[in-house]
Amino acid sequence: MIRIDSVTKRYPDGTVAVDRLSLEIPDRSITVLVGPSGCGKTTTLRMINRMVEPSEGTILLDGADIRQRPVNELRRSMGYVIQHAGLFQHRTIVDNIATVPRLLGRRKSEARARARELMERVGLDASLARRYPYQLSGGQQQRVGVARALAADPPVLLMDEPFSAVDPVVRKGLQDELLRLQEELGKTIVFVTHDIDEAVKLGTMVAVLRTGGRLAQFAPPAELLSNPADPFVEDFLGADRGIRRLSFFSSAGLELLTTPIVAVDATAEQIAARTASGTPYLLVTGVDGKPLGWAEPHDLTAGQVRPERLLPCGRPFAAGTDSLRSALDCAVLSPSGWAVAVDGEGRAAGVVSQQSIAEAIRGAHANDAKPVGAEAAQKAAR
Ligand SMILES: Nc1ncnc2c1ncn2[C@@H]1O[C@H](COP(=O)(O)OP(=O)(O)OP(=O)(O)O)[C@@H](O)[C@H]1O
């Protein structure tokens, strides 16, 4: 565990970048430092690997003061990833990643083999190995940065705004990849961002810092969203905090109706029976059970159902696995106002109305339902 104990950093010009900060960073999880520009996130991160020395206070790694450890040895135990990746422009991708193993005395062939293995791990095609950084996209370069930081297999990974220079789609991919990688590798990750959505998505614990390097709140994301410590944190979390909090409640409790579902080859009797359910729309599925679209019951005639004439069914949610936020989003976007739940094979598992989802939300709050576990929550928030 990394323990930051009442640490202050005062730069020579008198700027107090970090002010009596105390944090316990748990092992094998992602701790995010988030806050407005200039609030001391980078300074804090750099004090952990001693690129910046604290003015006061101590930082302990597994109970020992980091100042007691030779700085090179300390840094080898901490991978470091920065914005724009900071790759060596004159080295190929494989040699960028192999840098640290080579410094540690590994043979070239061995270090390159390790680099190729890491390229696969972070989702980089082997064909990129001999390219130079300028021949890669921004997102690919960031992956190389992550692979390079992992090359010496350090227990700790320090990441300073690693995904902020790429576009939102690439960024989401990199975030998902990091969560997947973390499930496999179980590193102790300290991740700096100024983006609260990124913090909520990635963090097991989130430290919100305010200007002047003071800690405003340190909590798991669900708690942050439900219980911001003060108006600063509330403001920083943004106006749609309530909606985002729904990411942490499972859709498993939703009552799914199957009666308003009818197959494209249904008989007149089957359509009549479904119509009797009284719902304003029926969901039409293919013979494989996968949703095709919505129709008003009086528009359906046995043997003449035309899939292209149906109202689009919208994006479905995964029954039980996705969050209440996903289910609500599906219902809001659905032309029928109903959300479609699908099973693991993409077959319609049931439909649920906005009203039922609203009741489930009220129930979740009223019962003070415990947010789903951090792991499920991270998945749900994606
Ligand atoms: N070498 C330095 N000398 C003097 N002041 C510094 C130095 N480095 C950083 N600062 C100041 O310390 C404060 C915290 O900076 P830091 O880079 O840690 O913030 P940050 O939260 O990471 O900001 P950003 O999100 O903009 O990267 C800022 O006011 C910054 O100007």
Is residue 162 in some structural domain? yes
Residues 307 and 220 in one domain: no
Torsion-angle region of 269 (φ positive above 0: left; ψ -120 to 50: alpha; else: beta): alpha
Q: What is the DSSP letter of 185?
A: H
Instruction: Please give the distance, rounded to the nearest whole angstrom, from the Cα atom of residue 162 to the centre of ligand 1.
Output: 17
Q: DSSP assignment of 289-336, as one string?
A: S-EEEEE-GGG--TT---GGGSBP----EETTTSBHHHHHHHHHHSTT
Cβ neighbours of 67 (radius 10 Å): 13
Helix axis angle for 93-103 and 138-150, nearest 10°, is 20
CA nearest neighbour of 355 among 249, 255, 240, 248: 255
Q: Which of 213, 243, 273 is the last residue of a domain?
A: 243
Q: Specify whether 207 is located in the same domain as 144.
A: yes
Which amino acid residue places its CA nearest to atom 11 of ligand 1?
17
Distance, CA of 259 to CA of 162 (rounded, Å)? 48
Residue 44 CA to ligand 1 centre (angstroms): 10
Are 300 and 223 in the same domain? no
347 and 311 assigned to the same domain? yes
Protein residue with least CA distance to atom 12, ligand 1: 17
Give the ipTM.
0.97
Separation of CA 40 and ligand 1 centre (Å): 6
Task: For residues 343 and 197, state if they share a domain.
Answer: no
For 126-135, write each residue's pLDDT tens digit.
999 999 999 9
Q: What is the mean pLDDT of the chain?
A: 89
pLDDT score for 53? 95
Answer whether residue 378 is part of any domain. no
Domain contains 255: no
Closest CA to 164 of 203, 196, 127: 196
The whole-number pLDDT of residue 381 equals 45
CA of 4 to the centre of ligand 1 (A): 18
Same domain as 352, residue 231: no
222 and 139 share a domain? yes
List residues bridging with 192 in a β-sheet.
Answer: 33, 160
pLDDT at 369: 46
Task: Give this prediction's pTM.
Answer: 0.81
Atom of ligand 1 nearest to the CA of 52: 1
Query: Where does ligand 1 bind, in terms of residues with CB under 6 Å?
Result: 11, 13, 15, 17, 35, 37-43, 194
Say whether both 207 and 76 belong to one domain. Answer: yes
Containing 373, the helix (H) or strand (E) segment is none
CATH number of the domain to which 146 belongs: 3.40.50.300
Give per-residue burial for 83-112: e unless 16+ CB within 10 Å, then b: bebebeeeebbbbbbbbbbbeeebeeeebb
Q: Is residue 250 part of a domain?
A: no
CATH assignment at residue 345: 3.10.580.10
Is there a domain that residue 248 lies in? no
The reply to whether 254 falls in a domain is no
Same domain, 202 and 273: no
The answer to whether the CB of 311 falls within 8 A of the CB of 294 is yes
Q: Is the pLDDT of residue 300 over 90?
A: no
Q: Note the pLDDT tens digit of each residue in 253-262.
A: 899 999 899 9
Distance 74 CA to ligand 1 centre (A): 23
The domain tally of the chain equals: 2
Residues 266 and 356 in one domain: yes
Please, are residues 314 and 256 in contact by the beta-carbon 8 Å criterion? no
Q: Whose Cα sits closest to atom 14 in ligand 1?
A: 40
Residue 265 sits in the same domain as residue 320: yes
Q: Is residue 377 part of a domain?
A: no
DSSP 71-108: HHHHHHTEEEEETTTT--TTS-HHHHHHHHHHHTT--H
Q: What is the pLDDT of residues 336-365, one digit of tens each?
A: 999 999 999 999 999 999 999 999 998 887
Question: Which residue segment(s) compose the domain that 299 sits in?
Answer: 261-366
Q: For position 35, what pLDDT does the model report?
A: 94
Residue type, 215: L
Same domain, 176 and 272: no
